Homo-oligomer: A and B are copies of this chain.
Amino acid sequence: MAANFELTREYLDQLKDAISNEDSVVTHEMVDDLHPADIAEIYDELNIDEAKFVHLLLEGEKSADVLMELEEDVRERFLEALPGDVIAHKFIEKLDSDDAADVLNELSEEKKSEVLKSIDDTEQAGDIVDLMSYDEDSAGGLMAKELIQVNVNWDLVTCMREMRKQAAEVDEIYYVYVVDDDGILQGTVSLKRMLLVRPNAKIKNIYNNKVISVPTDMPSNDVALIMEKYDLVALPVVDLLGRLLGRITIDDVVDVIKEEAEKDYQMISGISEDVEPSDNVLLLTRARIPWLLIGLAGGILGAQVISRFEGQISEYPQMAMFIPLIAAMGGNVGVQSSSIVVQGLANKSFSLDSTWQKLTKEVSVAFLNAAIFSILIFGYNYFFTTGFALTVMVSISLFTVMMFASVFGAFIPMILNRFKADPAVATGPFITTMNDVLGIVIYMAIGRIIFNALM
């Protein structure tokens, strides 16, 4: 596997040929050398029978790894069809404890206990059950039990001997954790440090006691922020007494970061499900419906507002001209200020600002933008359209709508966050549509006042 494998149409045709000829030698040859992640990608392009044919040719560990790389729903379908003891021996026993717990949590209650009872190694089964009890979006849900720990009172020779024993079940080492007699985390020794010191050195003299650890109940977003900020590849998880329970590795945190970013992006783009362009037409259609429904409701509401002012519009049809402008500007400003707040909350970058400071700042920004754009539109209308009343009205409305949408857009996510809801909801359809409708109400109401005053 020189560089990375790239799936081509030719490769796929050749593989499908081999499968349809039931040629297990060629098929095995074609996939054996590939990384599990690549094999999982190939499965996406095969039908279920073809994928099964390939899967039965893979050896134990790799077969488990491939299943782990599949999309959750595909894996679920696959596993529900297998008996519990096969899942346990061929799959769960070959996975790291954190992956095993995640997979088991996807199964039905019945299947779950069937699989757990079939695991031969009771210690492993115990570890998995422990992990299954944590919220999947917490440090406990992200951690694996597999790690290397040594006692602070050992010397390097004892330590190396113990590490050889423990290393067999750990995929990657990264750090060796140092604990005291009660299992309380004291620090870490890097493998590099071990390479550089004499074999008779004592752990207590060479370990680094500045170790960052997190409690099991820390939300996974916070875990991600910590690993990112301190550039960590592994992070130990401790209980309330400080005892070492497991470690979180960076690959799991990269997934958290990606998912979080994608969730926020979907919210702001109005997609209600985790879809990809390769999904089928019905799923893609369905994912777009909720936002469009809310948009339609908002549009109908807007239409009703305008219909109350029908007389006004037939008298001054120019009023209709600026309806889209007002609605669009209100919507734009609202999304802008919501999204800055949402990103700020996600990155915890509000630092020490008080609520009062945040409020003052948002109002200042809103005021500046609203002033700039109402002056611009005043200028345009003054020189290029007829009717001073309309000119005044559009400027005042735009100012009001922009001030309102901007402050509203910033405060909804702050309030959602205060009540422990996801602030990104504020960038979603409901709030943006509400902003649109309120923009129209403000425009029409101000229009009535001004026309009554000036005409």
Contact = CB atoms under 8 A, between A and B. Distances in A.
B265 A339 contact: yes
B233 A351 contact: no
Contacts of A373: 292, 296
B303 A351 contact: no
A324 B436 contact: yes
A313 interface: yes
A392 interface: no
A322 interface: yes
B361 A262 contact: no
Nearest to A193: B167
Interface in A339-374: 339-341, 343-344, 347, 349-353, 358, 361, 364-365, 368-369, 372-373
B281 A329 contact: no
Contact of A212 (B3, B190, B268): B3
A270 interface: yes
A250 B234 CA distance: 11
Contacts of A233: 172, 174, 233, 250-251
Interface in A1-58: 1-4, 7, 9, 12, 33, 35, 37, 41, 44-45
Contacts of A210: 1, 33, 35
Contacts of A307: 318, 321, 385
A265 B262 contact: no
Contacts of A214: 3-4
Nearest to A258: B257
Contacts of A343: 262, 265, 276
A313 B320 contact: yes
A352 B300 CA distance: 41
A277 B357 CA distance: 11
A381 to B, nearest CB: 9
A178 interface: no
A327 interface: yes
B369 A288 contact: yes
Interface residues on A, range: 35 or more
Residue from A264, A275, A317, A337 whose CB has the most chain B CB atoms within 10 Å: A317
A410 B12 CA distance: 27
B35 A433 contact: no
A377 interface: yes
Contact of A192 (B173, B310, B361): B173
A295 interface: yes
B339 A269 contact: yes
Contacts of A37: 229-231
Contacts of A442: none
A323 B325 contact: no
A86 interface: no
Closest 7 CB pairs of A and B: A299-B325, A269-B339, A261-B261, A277-B344, A320-B320, A231-B251, A303-B321
Interface of A: 1-4, 7, 9, 12, 33, 35, 37, 41, 44-45, 160, 163-164, 167-168, 170, 172-174, 190-192, 195-196, 210-215, 226-233, 250-251, 253-255, 257-258, 261-262, 264-266, 268-271, 275-278, 281-282, 284-285, 288-289, 291-292, 295-296, 298-300, 302-304, 306-307, 310-311, 313-314, 317-329, 331-333, 335-341, 343-344, 347, 349-353, 358, 361, 364-365, 368-369, 372-373, 376-377, 380, 385, 427, 429, 433, 436, 440
Given A271-B339, A292-B373, 14 more contacts: A7-B352, A35-B210, A35-B230, A164-B195, A167-B192, A228-B254, A276-B349, A278-B353, A288-B369, A298-B328, A303-B325, A306-B324, A307-B321, A324-B440
29 contacts: A4-B212, A4-B214, A7-B351, A160-B195, A168-B196, A172-B190, A231-B251, A233-B250, A261-B265, A264-B265, A266-B339, A268-B268, A270-B335, A276-B349, A277-B349, A278-B350, A285-B368, A288-B333, A288-B336, A288-B365, A292-B332, A296-B325, A298-B325, A299-B326, A310-B321, A313-B317, A317-B317, A327-B328, A332-B429
